[in-house]
Structure 1
Amino acid sequence: LVAGLIRGKRAEDAMNILAFSKKAMAVDARKVLASAIANAENNHNLDVDALVVAEASVGKSITMKRFHTRGRGKSTRILKPISRLRIVVREATGEEA
């Protein structure tokens, strides 16, 4: 849901949307977006004001396997899934801006 909010928006607008969103995942998505913007500026010499969120997706990552002890010497398996957040920013051309 949070990735769908910012997909296709300007980077500055996406940061504002995530800052004022009430969803808990918006905090982590804002950190990832800020990192993507910083990487675009420092590593690829892109203009920060012209950045657009090209892709925003959430995918499946690893699953941690744990055991929980139960009565009579038994145990049950607990699966703790982890998701992966991917945000790609691109410099907007004239018609996209």
Structure 2
Amino acid sequence: MSVAILVKFKSTDQAPLYIPVATQGEYHGVWLSAAEKLGLKWVPLFEDGPVVDVSDLPSLLDEFRQLRKALAGSPTNALLLEHIDSILEQLGQLNLTEVSKIVIG
């Protein structure tokens, strides 16, 4: 299993956006432990499949940034940091007026 973000759009003409986040092992071994140490709200819920309201996207992006900063100290996390950057870029490019639902799970 893995953790991913699914962005659904209001327009039925626009295909949903699927953004892989982490494998289950990486989520439990790296993401979850770092998120708990940082006291993050959203990242620990990823496994439970939360629906994120569009208005909460800035808060979610902030958690990704905090997680990235916390993991940046280790050279073994280089690929993970690139992946977080990609997630931030993809979510940051969304036109929020077109998004109907964001589901993580």
TM-score by length of 1: 0.37
More strand by share: 1
More helix by share: 2
